[in-house]
Chains A and B, each alone.
Chain A
């Protein structure tokens, strides 16, 4: 019986449920799409690794110093003799020596353009070997033979426009090598997104390693022994100098690598889902509140003839349940579509999953229904409770919908306590001395103030909208006055609608305050402390000696400063060890960079001393003159005295340990010194013209190395700006969605309000309100709601952003920059959002038949 009335009521109001349904569908689609996508991707890679992993893989034991660092250093190798020893082990069918490195750069010599991905995914160069489980097969041409031939993977070749016979240059630490493409190889299953190039084994050893060895030996058994037995045999035969991994272990390693990227995707997508869920929740609350309000008389009648509170309450919840089930089902379907879309998208970044079949699994429908139903029923809970509280008197009251009870005192108290608590936490964060505690306060402060604002929303709606709308009657006459009153008549509804918009805009504003402060802080640091005119960096591995030589030969340069990065383990006098890296620099470094001195002298870096930063010094109670014990790779050791403690607050130097290349050279032989991570140049002629000339000369001499970027200070700042921008774009993307859903919310509220106010509108039309005036009234109400939400959002976001800057002021975010332009744009855009959201409801209202409106009972 209950179900029947609920069902009937649901379908009677299906139009009004449309937008809520859309919100649920959207959220559920994100959740299920993400899960299907990541299941499919993980499944595909598992399959790929399972079919291609060798039975056991023998790799050189990594140096204890280099192991933890991500700096590309010299490759450790397995000597030929060892490989032969492995091949002779019992149960081994074949043992294949492989040479692979991620440190080589592929260049198209015809255009001097880099081949393969320039960021993110790796380019791997190695030897072509035939193993029983090759992941690629040659689909045209033939395997590489001799010093002049190379094979490229098909996806990379296609992207770079290369084919059989095209020239391809490989640049390694030891030099540049030219090849002609002899074959194109295609992945048998899935391209995990890397670029691959293959030469024959001898060439690989000569060009990539510079020695007659392997980077790993892959072993395939004859089936007589298990992989674990093979591993045990290998370990006992080879001793402790090697790492031996079974197929299972290799698979786990690989999955971890791909997994971290997929995880990022997954969390980003779940972020989308979370935000649309949150905003969708407000939409559902509003829809059900309005349905309940519209049915006040009906419900009052039901109560008058003996319906219990619980029955009324439950009938609303059952309706929500129906909506939830329907939305989840549609969302699940849409989610599959989304997964397919994501797979296509991955193809664009080089990860080809197109051949894979969707893996859905039981977890996806469970998650979809759980999310969809729980959020709907939860959101409908408040309106349902309210419905249960409607008194039988309501049936007798004449004026259809009663003016909603004024936002109550409890709400005010709770909202104020939360908001003040949040504000107090933010203040505490801003004045915290330690960044870590400040960060924690900031986090709690953000959450608390957000919830506080959501709770206070309806109260603020009354006051803020009154202020906002005060000018409306003057500006827009009767439409303005009616709009202002309408926006205020239902503070709870206005509050919830605006809250949806507020959340998105608060995040955008906070993020843009943070990022613009970051840009201006870093720029000012560069201005203050960088004397070098140019910086040369590589997007792949290091700057090889050949590149440095080429740079040095440039005319118009006063000098060139080199910087190397060496992984080390530091032992401080307090006995603590730190895995980090030391920046070894040329003597001119101290003239190129104005090191911020806390104590000591910058010059000491050039005279056998080492610098530490203030935070590190404080942590380990270090002062100038204290000795640091340093262990480099290959067990080279040195003890250096601290000559300089750098003042904190400059992100260019924080966390760095500077010393001279010559000083390091005393402990580390030249053959073990890594190549440069960066090179800085200074123009001989300090005028703008001289600097520009030297810049183009430098770019010219490094033309053959497309992996290098040569930037002057302005260009360097632009790079930082660019890095920040890409972060911003991501945030904007995420929030674009939140705003779309928020717009849906405004449309939803207005459309339902128009339906609810049918008689009012009919009356207004009867006594002479023109269609235009009517539409304007609805548009203005919409704009008021949107601007209200935007004001709350930007206010909150400003508070968050400013606090974040204060918290990090010692961590390089010294300058607060408020992006006034962005904020003005946000406010204007919100007014536009309001106009846009009103289009449909205003159209509906304009089309309403006056007579029908008057007759509506």
Chain B
């Protein structure tokens, strides 16, 4: 627990810090009450840097998904404050939150990312459709070509493989040019080759397109694609690592298990 402080620098107003795409201060999330009360997040402070690829790791039940949901405005917090860019989202009404998600956030889920009634292209442009915006044709082209789906655009999700579906989901997240993309184990359901494909693509979108990316994962190899890894345990950020490699992450995770079992 002593390493927890290294996860963040001194708290600062997010608006002053253009390099922060999202930040949380003293965020606590508790489920239930009384004896069945579970503290999923315990006074978490975190800053997500703009244009960087951040991975969140930790044992099962450590609060990774909860943290991501709270940061993305999908879930409400019990205490603390959260900003996306310079907008504080804690305390926003459903309507404003929906609009924020629509305009500033992209999502890639582990499964069931696409609407079965829409074809690949329609799924990709859906967030812009909803917002009533015309997609930027050149950008869309670039995204579609990068994900390698140019010849699959008219296909329905059921006609695509799992990896292809995830790539469509990635394209959807990118196409709207959100400020930040959240992925909850986006490669969890994929074999290592398709997983690598998607991850490479995410990496490129960060490097070449300047996209901000936050990804929850269990897989040290996946985490090695990130610029920075945050380690979560029992609702608290216990460590972080820059420029990770699969081995160093694995090593760190082992230490975790060791600590827990000891």
**A interface residue numbers (CB < 8 A to B):** 398-403, 477-478, 481-482, 485-486, 488-489, 759-760, 763-771, 773, 850-851, 854
B126 touches A767 (CB 8 A): yes
Asked if A400 meets B126 with Cβ closer than 8 Å, knowing A485-B118, A770-B99, the reply is no
Instruction: State how many residues of chain B have any CB contact under 8 Å with chain A.
Output: 34
A760 touches B129 (CB 8 A): no
Chain A: interface secondary structure?
Answer: helix
In the complex formed, the residue of A with least CB distance to B98 is A770
Does chain A have a CB within 8 A of B112? Answer: yes
A768 touches B98 (CB 8 A): yes
Minimum-distance CB pairs A-B, first 9: A768-B102, A485-B117, A478-B129, A768-B101, A770-B98, A478-B130, A767-B127, A759-B112, A489-B117
What residues of B have a CB within 8 angstroms of the CB of A764 in the complex?
A: 115, 130
What residues of A have a CB within 8 angstroms of the CB of B132 in the complex?
A: 477-478
What residues of B have a CB within 8 angstroms of the CB of A850 in the complex?
A: 74
Which residues between 191 and 243 of chain B lie within 8 Å of chain A, taking CB atoms? none
A768 touches B103 (CB 8 A): yes
Measured CA separation A316–B95 after assembly (Å) = 42
What residues of A have a CB within 8 angstroms of the CB of B162 in the complex?
A: 398
Does chain A have a CB within 8 A of B78? Answer: no
Measured CA separation A477–B126 after assembly (Å) = 11
What residues of B have a CB within 8 angstroms of the CB of A851 in the complex?
A: 69, 74-75
What residues of A have a CB within 8 angstroms of the CB of B105 in the complex?
A: 768
What residues of A have a CB within 8 angstroms of the CB of B98 in the complex?
A: 765, 768-771
B101 touches A399 (CB 8 A): no
Least CB distance, B146 to chain A, in whole angstroms: 20
What residues of A have a CB within 8 angstroms of the CB of B114 in the complex?
A: 763
Least CB distance, A112 to chain B, in whole angstroms: 69
What residues of B have a CB within 8 angstroms of the CB of A398 in the complex?
A: 111, 162
Measured CA separation A768–B115 after assembly (Å) = 14
A773 touches B130 (CB 8 A): yes
B117 touches A767 (CB 8 A): no
In the complex formed, the residue of B with least CB distance to A766 is B107
Asked if A770 meets B95 with Cβ closer than 8 Å, knowing A398-B111, A399-B158, A403-B158, the reply is yes
Least CB distance, B159 to chain A, in whole angstroms: 10
In the complex formed, the residue of A with least CB distance to B116 is A399
Does chain A have a CB within 8 A of B113? Answer: yes
Asked if A402 meets B131 with Cβ closer than 8 Å, knowing A766-B107, A768-B101, A768-B103, the reply is no
Does chain A have a CB within 8 A of B94? Answer: yes
**B interface residue numbers (CB < 8 A to A):** 69, 74-75, 94-95, 98-99, 101-103, 105-107, 109, 111-118, 122, 126-127, 129-132, 156-158, 162, 172
Measured CA separation A399–B99 after assembly (Å) = 28
B95 touches A763 (CB 8 A): no
Measured CA separation A402–B131 after assembly (Å) = 29
Asked if A399 meets B157 with Cβ closer than 8 Å, knowing A759-B112, A768-B127, the reply is yes
| Count: A-B pairs, CB below 8 Å | 83
A768 touches B111 (CB 8 A): no
A768 touches B112 (CB 8 A): no
Measured CA separation A180–B101 after assembly (Å) = 87
- A selection of 19 A-B contacts at a CB cut-off of 8 Å is A398-B111, A402-B158, A477-B132, A478-B129, A478-B132, A481-B122, A481-B129, A482-B118, A488-B117, A489-B117, A766-B107, A766-B109, A767-B126, A767-B172, A768-B127, A768-B131, A769-B102, A770-B95, A771-B98
Residue A403 contacts which of B106, B116, B172 (CB distance < 8 angstroms)?
B116
In the complex formed, the residue of A with least CB distance to B110 is A854
What residues of A have a CB within 8 angstroms of the CB of B107 in the complex?
A: 766-767
In the complex formed, the residue of B with least CB distance to A488 is B117
What residues of A have a CB within 8 angstroms of the CB of B111 in the complex?
A: 398
What residues of A have a CB within 8 angstroms of the CB of B115 in the complex?
A: 482, 760, 763-764
Measured CA separation A488–B156 after assembly (Å) = 14
Measured CA separation A161–B97 after assembly (Å) = 69
What residues of A have a CB within 8 angstroms of the CB of B157 in the complex?
A: 399
In the complex formed, the residue of A with least CB distance to B165 is A398
In the complex formed, the residue of B with least CB distance to A401 is B116
Measured CA separation A854–B108 after assembly (Å) = 12
What residues of A have a CB within 8 angstroms of the CB of B116 in the complex?
A: 399, 401, 403, 489, 760
In the complex formed, the residue of B with least CB distance to A767 is B127
Additional A-B contact list (8), CB under 8 Å, known A485-B117, A768-B99, A768-B105 = A402-B158, A477-B129, A478-B129, A481-B118, A767-B126, A767-B172, A769-B102, A854-B109
Residue B113 contacts which of A486, A763, A768, A773 (CB distance < 8 angstroms)?
A763
Least CB distance, B186 to chain A, in whole angstroms: 14
Least CB distance, A91 to chain B, in whole angstroms: 88
Asked if A767 meets B129 with Cβ closer than 8 Å, knowing A399-B158, A402-B158, the reply is no
Most buried by B among A400, A401, A763: A763
In the complex formed, the residue of B with least CB distance to A769 is B130
What residues of A have a CB within 8 angstroms of the CB of B94 in the complex?
A: 771
What residues of B have a CB within 8 angstroms of the CB of A766 in the complex?
A: 74, 101, 107, 109
Measured CA separation A508–B126 after assembly (Å) = 42
What residues of B have a CB within 8 angstroms of the CB of A854 in the complex?
A: 74, 109, 112
Asked if A767 meets B130 with Cβ closer than 8 Å, knowing A398-B111, A760-B116, A851-B69, the reply is yes
Least CB distance, B94 to chain A, in whole angstroms: 7
Residue A763 contacts which of B75, B99, B103, B112 (CB distance < 8 angstroms)?
B112
What residues of B have a CB within 8 angstroms of the CB of A401 in the complex?
A: 116
B101 touches A767 (CB 8 A): yes
What residues of B have a CB within 8 angstroms of the CB of A760 in the complex?
A: 112, 115-116
Least CB distance, B126 to chain A, in whole angstroms: 7
Measured CA separation A764–B106 after assembly (Å) = 12
B74 touches A767 (CB 8 A): no
Measured CA separation A171–B74 after assembly (Å) = 84
Measured CA separation A763–B115 after assembly (Å) = 8
A486 touches B117 (CB 8 A): yes
In the complex formed, the residue of A with least CB distance to B182 is A766
Least CB distance, A283 to chain B, in whole angstroms: 24
Measured CA separation A481–B102 after assembly (Å) = 18
In the complex formed, the residue of A with least CB distance to B109 is A854
Measured CA separation A768–B74 after assembly (Å) = 10
Measured CA separation A759–B101 after assembly (Å) = 17
Measured CA separation A485–B114 after assembly (Å) = 14
What residues of B have a CB within 8 angstroms of the CB of A771 in the complex?
A: 94-95, 98
Most buried by B among A477, A478, A485, A771: A478
Most buried by A among B101, B105, B113, B130: B130
A767 touches B158 (CB 8 A): no
Least CB distance, A474 to chain B, in whole angstroms: 12
What residues of A have a CB within 8 angstroms of the CB of B109 in the complex?
A: 763, 766, 854
Least CB distance, A5 to chain B, in whole angstroms: 27
What residues of B have a CB within 8 angstroms of the CB of A759 in the complex?
A: 112
Residue A400 contacts which of B74, B112, B130 (CB distance < 8 angstroms)?
B112
Least CB distance, A528 to chain B, in whole angstroms: 59
Measured CA separation A520–B74 after assembly (Å) = 64
Least CB distance, A846 to chain B, in whole angstroms: 10
In the complex formed, the residue of B with least CB distance to A761 is B115
In the complex formed, the residue of A with least CB distance to B94 is A771
What residues of A have a CB within 8 angstroms of the CB of B95 in the complex?
A: 770-771
Measured CA separation A765–B130 after assembly (Å) = 10
What residues of B have a CB within 8 angstroms of the CB of A767 in the complex?
A: 101-102, 106-107, 126-127, 130, 172
Least CB distance, A406 to chain B, in whole angstroms: 13
In the complex formed, the residue of B with least CB distance to A479 is B130
Measured CA separation A771–B117 after assembly (Å) = 20
What residues of B have a CB within 8 angstroms of the CB of A399 in the complex?
A: 112, 116, 157-158
What residues of A have a CB within 8 angstroms of the CB of B99 in the complex?
A: 768, 770
Measured CA separation A766–B156 after assembly (Å) = 21
What residues of A have a CB within 8 angstroms of the CB of B101 in the complex?
A: 766-768
What residues of A have a CB within 8 angstroms of the CB of B117 in the complex?
A: 482, 485-486, 488-489
Most buried by B among A403, A481, A766, A850: A766
Least CB distance, B135 to chain A, in whole angstroms: 13
Least CB distance, A228 to chain B, in whole angstroms: 79
Measured CA separation A773–B94 after assembly (Å) = 13
Measured CA separation A486–B115 after assembly (Å) = 10
Least CB distance, B182 to chain A, in whole angstroms: 10
